[in-house]
Amino acid sequence: MALTAIEAVRLTASLAECEMALVRRDPVAPALLAQAARHADGLSPGPLTAAAARLARAVDPADRTPEASAARKVVQALVRAAAMEAEAALLAGPGPERAR
């Protein structure tokens, strides 16, 4: 489903917050990602966001082992890809189906 401008802005902001929480190794990162996944449900970035949320639940953000760091990087990459998809919808400009 194509994103409206409002959905794209909300999702972009939510994903940026998630990305910063991951960088800071904040323990709320998995909860923020779960919330972002709910926002993205049914939208084009939804599958990427849901995959990031599932993986984030399996990794302790504060864990500094190489395995946890690698998993966190994968989560960050999924979040960034979802954010880029939402940003692309904004850059595409309004279309007839997105004019709401």
In this prediction, residues 67-82 reach a mean pLDDT of 94
pLDDT of residue 3: 84
d(CA 8, CA 91): 10
For residues 85 and 93, which has the higher predicted lDDT (pLDDT)? 85
Domain that holds residue 77: 5-90
98 part of a folded domain: no
Residue 73's SS3 state is helix
Q: What is the pLDDT of residue 98?
A: 46
Question: What is the rounded average pLDDT of the residues 11-33?
Answer: 94
Is residue 15 over pLDDT 90? Answer: yes
CA 10, distance to chain mean position in Å, is: 11
Question: Both tokens of residue 60?
Answer: 């302790």
**77 is a domain residue:** yes
Q: Give percent of the chain above pLDDT 90.
A: 74
Would residue 95 count as lying in a domain?
no
Domain count of the chain? 1
Residue 64 included in any domain? yes
Q: Over 70: is that where the pLDDT of 10 sits?
A: yes
Question: What distance in Å separates the CA atoms of residue 97 and residue 80, rounded to the nearest whole number?
Answer: 25
What's the half-sphere exposure (Cβ side, CA atoms, 13 Å) at 73? 7
In the DSSP assignment, the letter for residue 43 is S
